[in-house]
Structure 1
Amino acid sequence: METLIFEFQINATPEKVWSVLWDDTTYRQWTSAFTDGSFYQGTLEEKSMVKFLDPKNNGMYSRILKNIPNKEITFLHLGEIYDGVEVPQEWGDATESYFLQETEDGTLLRSEIKTSEEFKGFFEEHFPKALQNVKNLAENQL
């Protein structure tokens, strides 16, 4: 596993950035950097399961390990979904975390992804674009 780290300074409050990250409408907008039409199903409560899907019902499913609203959330990725069917994977500690730290200029958004070599290139290419979308949405939405 390799840990990838992405950071963006955003001129908005942590509450605003959190809202952009996890509200349905804005989630669909910023995750379009990965796949058009992306969405998630489930709640963001600790220990709950969440499915990250595309319009064809493909994606992955994860468990929420930690959720401190407006500060931190960590997902443990457990498997893939094909045509709505969950397929467990042996990804070990494949996690995706978001940390929001209030700064003088707004919020430092830090994302840490523990990934295998198989997905490293995808994340390196698409994650900066996705977080730039979060920044744009948080700074430009009313």
Structure 2
Amino acid sequence: MKFLEFEIQINATPEKVWETLFTQDSYKKWASAMNEGTYFEGNWEVGSIMKFLDPQNNGMYNLVTENIRFKVLGMKHLGWILKGELSPQNWEDSTLNYILEPSENGTLLKGTVNSLDEFVEFFNSKYPQNFEHIKRLSEK
């Protein structure tokens, strides 16, 4: 496992950044850095399962572990989705957190990932692009 951190200063309120992160329309726009056409299914409530899918119904699913509105959202990676079917994986303590901190100029968005070694390159190549998209959309 490798602990990764990403952050970006966004000139928008935590409420606006939160909306950009977790509403379907804006999620589809910023998540395109990972995979064009990506969308989610779920409600972001603690204890719920979130599915992140591509247009072919493939993707991954996570358990929401924390949701403090406008401040933090945490998830544990559980497995793949292949043609709509859940495929549980033993990904140990693979987690993802979005942390929003109010700052003088808006919001400092932080992302922390406890990643399996096999996914480090993916996160390092995709998340900086994601954060740039989130910044652009939030500052509109």
Question: TM-score range, shorter-chain basis?
Answer: over 0.9
Map 1:1-142 onto structure 2 (within 5 A): 1-140=1-140
Distance 1:105 1:21 in 2: 19
User: Percent identity between the aligned chains?
Assistant: 44
Distance 1:49 1:126 in 2: 23
| 2:17 alignment partner AA | V
Distance 2:3 2:54 in 1: 25
5+ unaligned residues in a row in structure 2: which ranges? none
| 1:62 alignment partner AA | N
Distance 2:108 2:63 in 1: 25
| 1:93 alignment partner AA | D
SS in structure 2 of the partner of residue 67 of structure 1: strand
Distance 1:49 1:122 in 2: 22
* CA-based RMSD: 0.5
Distance 1:42 1:138 in 2: 22
| 2:103 alignment partner AA | T
| 2:132 alignment partner AA | Q
Distance 2:38 2:96 in 1: 16
SS in structure 2 of the partner of residue 119 of structure 1: helix
How much has 1:8 moved relative to structure 2?
Answer: 0.2
How much has 1:7 moved relative to structure 2?
Answer: 0.4
5+ unaligned residues in a row in structure 1: which ranges? none
| 1:43 alignment partner AA | N
* Number of equivalent positions: 140
SS in structure 2 of the partner of residue 45 of structure 1: coil
SS in structure 2 of the partner of residue 60 of structure 1: strand
| 1:120 alignment partner AA | V
Distance 2:74 2:13 in 1: 20
Distance 1:93 1:139 in 2: 33
Moved runs in structure 1, 4+ residues, more than 2 A?
A: none
TM-score in terms of structure 2 length: 0.99
